[in-house]
Chains A and B, each alone.
Chain A
Amino acid sequence: MAYFSNDLPGPVPGLDDREFWEQCQQRRLMFQRCIDCGKVRHPPAPGCKACGSFESDCVEAGDDAELFSYTVVHHAAHEAVRGSVPYNIAIVRYPALDDVRIVSNVIDVASDDLRIGMPLSLVWEKAGNGLLVPRYSRAVGK
């Protein structure tokens, strides 16, 4: 069962982030990386905030995701999550990729068991509009 109902807004790719979402549809989490200075960034943007360069390629996320911070939401701020509360929002960090972070959810850990620093594994779920989005589960064997 998906973490949220299908009524939740899904991503609507635009000019700056369509490549990111296209990769997601192939189950690949790819972050932009500056060709000139090598800095990894997220969310996708036309330029590098470290050096201003417009030249970038992509780098795939590894398996070293960790829970950097989180909140457990009890008050629904959108009709679509009235049936989901309490749910968590996770800030997931990739230490090997310049500490780039992604806002997501940990789908299989009870609220009280969430711990800052816990290792996580990437999983893919369909959002309500049918696009695959990255979510996380407890990393097995770590």
Chain B
Amino acid sequence: MTEIREAAKGARAACIVGLGESEYRRWGGFTDRSELELACEAIKLAVSDAGLTLSDIDGLSSYAGDANEPSYIQDVLGLPELRFTSMVWGGGGTGSCGPLLHAALAVESGVANAVVVFRALCQGQSRRYGQFNPARPGNNFIAPFGMFSPPNMIAPLIQRYMHEFGIRQEHLGEVAVSNRANAARNPRAVMGQRPLDMETYLASRIIASPLRLYDCCQENDGACAVVITRMERARDLPRRPVRIIAAAQGTNAGWGTGALGAHNMPVEEYGVGNGGKVAKELFAAAGLAPSDIDVAQIYDHFSGLVLMSLENYGFCEKGGAGDFVEKGNIRWDGGSLPINTSGGHLSEAYIHGMNLVVEGARQMRGESTSQVDEAKLCLVTGGLAGPPTSAAILGAA
């Protein structure tokens, strides 16, 4: 195996030591507890899982404009010291792995000792992400033309991608069917009790062509959190630490708001995606290659963008993802790169990528309901097509 540069940081290297999740429900599912309470519940569970107390937590980081500001959380949980807080800007879960970078920098530098990365999302208490958002900047160039929702915005990219590279509907469907099969083993998965086969997928209604119902992620309510501290501290804690080998955020240049805006990203990257730069920097920082990765949690807002991500992160050639998934490579049972082992956004829940981070860490602790045998390295990605994008490589200790 290639050299892992994170090892040079030794005892100061950042690692994930605790995981916490609320229950996941469909959007509108929580009428008895506020989003803030769910955020704090997930944080409390993660701190308890880590074997720490709330007074150990001195940093909070989130993304996507999470409404639960650290000052509110500090008061609800009675945190005595908050030395570090940060936010990754950008729509949706595009920045979901960015806070891992922030938290790692904070604990490795000594600015903070234990940082919680969290995301709480109650679409029933704020707004549905699948409906028109009148506050979106740039609406002038999309709303008068009937472009309102993420499926409306992403569908033309996938249409172009399929046109350029001969990707078929069944290739998109394989992502949906594979994710659903993983969800069936996961009791937390909102769609876990609803089997999905290719025939049902192909017969499902069209949302915005070429996207069918099962190509689009769910809309959910829930919260999750992870605790990050230094390896020297983790050695005395109960859980097997999960190494943050590398994390990166950014985008290919010239994407602006990408598919969430006026669609004027570089023309040659329109049906390709904006993750190439982050992928290159991530693997360089880790001193690893895509072939080293054992399991991946690929941000699945839409099935077709999972295919593009597989190409952006170097698991197959540009345009090669259809063939890659058709050969069974992403399946948990026998695939070369099992992905979205919790069921992902399509079938577990859509908590803006944070639940993918949790599942990535679970794989590295050996605790997934679809555990990949001997998995030592997990790629987690955040977003694609609406900048920024972000990703992390997690490692088993």
Q: What is the interface of chain A, defined by CB distance below 8 A to chain B?
A: 4, 8-14, 17, 21, 41-43, 49-50, 68-75, 77-78, 81, 84, 87, 89, 91, 93, 99-105, 111, 116, 127, 133, 135
Contacts and interface: CB of A to CB of B under 8 A. Distances in A.
Interface stretch (B23-31, B62-70, B146-154, B194-202): B146-154
Contacts of B163: 69, 116
Contacts of A127: 144
B146 A8 contact: yes
A74 to B, nearest CB: 5
Given A74-B208, A87-B146, A89-B152, A101 B264 contact: yes
A73 B146 contact: yes
Which 7 A-B pairs give the minimum distances between C-beta atoms?
A: A71-B155, A77-B149, A77-B148, A69-B156, A69-B160, A99-B267, A11-B140
Interface residues of B, number: 40
A104 B145 contact: yes
Contact of A9 (B143, B211, B261): B143
Contacts, number: 124
8 contacts: A12-B139, A42-B141, A42-B262, A69-B163, A71-B159, A81-B148, A101-B267, A103-B263
Given A17-B140, A73-B146, 11 more contacts: A8-B143, A11-B144, A12-B139, A21-B140, A70-B159, A75-B151, A77-B130, A81-B146, A103-B145, A105-B146, A116-B159
Contacts of B142: 103
B65 to A, nearest CB: 20
B160 A103 contact: no
B132 A77 contact: yes
Contact of A72 (B141, B209, B270): B209
A69 B270 contact: yes
B238 interface: no
B111 interface: no
B223 to A, nearest CB: 25
A68 B163 CA distance: 10
A75 B151 CA distance: 9
Contacts of B254: 49-50
A71 B264 contact: no
Given A11-B140, A69-B160, A103 B262 contact: yes
B393 interface: no
Nearest to B140: A11
Contacts of A14: 140
B384 to A, nearest CB: 16
A130 to B, nearest CB: 12
B312 to A, nearest CB: 19
Interface in B92-137: 130-132, 134
Contacts of B207: 73-75
Nearest to B265: A101
A10 B144 CA distance: 5
B149 A13 contact: no
A70 B162 CA distance: 12
